[in-house]
Amino acid sequence: MRTSAIKDLKQQLSLYFVAGTMNCDSPEAFERILLQAIQGGVTAFQFREKGAKSLRGEKRLEIANRAKQICREHGVLFIVNDDLELMKSVDADGLHVGQKDGDLKTIREATKGKILGVSAHTLAEAEDAVSKGADYIGVGPIYQTASKEDAEEPVGVARIKEFLMNHINLPLVGIGGITIKNVSEVILAGADGAAVISALSGVDSPEEASRKMSKIIQSAKRDV
Ligand SMILES: Cc1ncc(COP(=O)(O)OP(=O)(O)O)c(N)n1
Ligand SMILES: Cc1nc(C(=O)O)sc1CCOP(=O)(O)O
Ligand SMILES: [Mg+2]
């Protein structure tokens, strides 16, 4: 990736909303929440339709297409979680994979021309992701999270600082337990963005929460 493209991606990942219909009361609520969160300032969205209550088949494809449409209309990056075939079917901007989602070299080959995000919990995983051509890294869980059943132990913002001290220069996105109250700490530690599920999907006003979070992130970025 060119330096200017990395800089653009760092900005585009500032407030990264991750969600699926199972994080909301219904598919209709999912669309409404996504739109409101975008209106408040979300800059990237990851379609993570996963787990027991998630949609399958045609319905899943339909909702993914609608979410992509909403993102495109508002200039928001649209990333698909885990599912390469779905990413291709909806022509998303990219794919996000974790350490257990397959061989990274093969996934990189299959996502040429798309943004590839990779989760890293340790420095060794981050270095591996860099060497295999990831475009950004999701680091976490920064704090305790209730949104992911198989989450690792929290690593704290120290892990972000460790990556930076060891010259991991890709865009870094913190994830896991990030809220309005602690997001500034994540950005001040050096992350380029914050990825959240419950802070935007589990609130009365996703627009207001998103607006507040977005302001805090932009202001913390000026202080780094
Ligand atoms: C931005 C971002 N960072 C990390 C993750 C977690 O990915 P993974 O470890 O593959 O877990 P699942 O989300 O697939 O359950 C993410 N999704 N997004
Ligand atoms: C999807 C996901 N991945 C994580 C990781 O550590 O890789 S933590 C997480 C859940 C984030 O949800 P919330 O913002 O509600 O804590
Ligand atoms: Mg995954």
Domain boundaries, the chain: 3-223
The closest ligand to the CA of 99 turns out to be: 1
| Tally of CA atoms within 13 A in the half-sphere of 51 that contains its CB | 12
95 Cβ below 6 A of ligand 2? no
Output the CA 170–ligand 1 centroid distance in Å: 17
Per-residue pLDDT tens digits for 7-25: 899 999 999 999 999 999 9
Q: Whose CA is nearest to atom 7 of ligand 1?
A: 98
Which atom of ligand 2 has the smallest separation from the CA of 81? 1
83 in a known ligand binding site: no
DSSP 7: H
Mutate to test the pocket of ligand 2, among 24, 119, 175 (most ligand atoms within 8 A of CB): 175
The closest of 101, 100, 150, 94 to 117, measured between CA atoms, is 94
Residues of the chain with pLDDT under 70: none
Rounded (10°) CA dihedral 108, 111, 114, 119: -50
Mutate to test the pocket of ligand 2, among 23, 125, 145 (most ligand atoms within 8 A of CB): 145
| Tally of CA atoms within 13 A in the half-sphere of 44 that contains its CB | 29
Domain 3-223 matching CATH 3.20.20.70: the answer reads yes
ipTM value greater than 0.95: yes
Q: Does residue 154 have a cis bond before it (omega within 30 degrees)?
A: no
Helix orientation angle between 158-165 and 123-131, rounded to the nearest 10 degrees: 50
The closest of 37, 34, 65, 64 to 49, measured between CA atoms, is 64
Residues 6+ positions from 117 with CB-CB distance below 8 Å: 46, 79, 94, 95, 96, 97, 134, 135, 136, 137, 138, 173
18 Cβ below 6 A of ligand 1? yes
What are the catalytic residues?
48, 119, 148
